[in-house]
Amino acid sequence: MKQLFIYILLFFMTIACKKIDKLTHFYLNYQTLVTIEQTDVSGISFDVRSSIIPTNSDSIFTVQHTDADRVKQINLKQVSLFIVNTDSIPPGTIQSIELYLLGEGSSDKLIAWNNDITNEMFAPFILSTTTDDLIDYLKKPQVQYRVHGELSGDQVFNFILNIETQYFSSAIIVSE
């Protein structure tokens, strides 16, 4: 009987911990478009910045019943980067791509990359991602992305990249 009680107690403790995790874990999602024009390309490489993206982190933290001081970590969960207007670009045009996160007063942080792209023009690029904690970038009021890439050949196209990122955050709930 004692063992049954202990098993039941452990079961309820496990469920309670999972529910607490759900309350303290949430996602930050951002999307932006980057236009790469022929004038942005020198030789076969390009290096462009996105527009400035408000993080809205303070309001997101408030909705999650926490604040910036109680956020323990923010990690990149997934990134989707694809060409919007693929019909005018032949497969294999982009050979490599790197995505950097720029933070106000912080150095550029490489967050996603693929140095060997093969014919991925019609689907999201498959990118390796960092596992580093990005809390110092995403607690700030705004961020910006920098995209660096290498093109094949000497023919240059105008194209638009869509960047969608999702960050996983873990925080401590503020007791009310």
pLDDT of the residue at 110: 96
pLDDT band per the 50, 70, 90 thresholds, residue 17 = very low
Which of the given ranges, 7-21, 60-74, 160-174, has the highest pLDDT on average? 160-174
The mean pLDDT of the chain is 80
pLDDT digits (tens, 9 = 90+) for 19-59: 444 447 888 899 999 988 775 565 678 888 998 888 888 88
Topology of the domain comprising 27-171 = Jelly Rolls (2.60.120)
Question: With a threshold of 0.85, does the pTM exceed it?
Answer: no
Of 58-72, 139-153, 160-174, which gets the smallest average pLDDT? 58-72
Judged by DSSP in three states, 88 sits in helix
pLDDT digits (tens, 9 = 90+) for 76-120: 999 998 888 766 677 777 888 999 999 777 789 999 999 888 766
pLDDT of the residue at 18: 46
Give the phi and the psi of residue 119 in degrees, each rounded to 5.
55, 30
Q: Where are the alpha helices (DSSP H) in 25-162?
A: 57-63, 135-138
pLDDT of the residue at 77: 94
pLDDT of the residue at 56: 85
pLDDT of the residue at 64: 77
Q: Where are the alpha helices (DSSP H) in 35-112?
A: 57-63
pLDDT of the residue at 31: 93
CA 81 to chain centre: 10
Mean pLDDT of 48-74: 83
Cβ within 8 Å of residue 171, ≥6 positions away: 24, 25, 26, 61, 64, 66, 70, 71, 72
Mean pLDDT of 164-171: 91
pLDDT of the residue at 167: 93
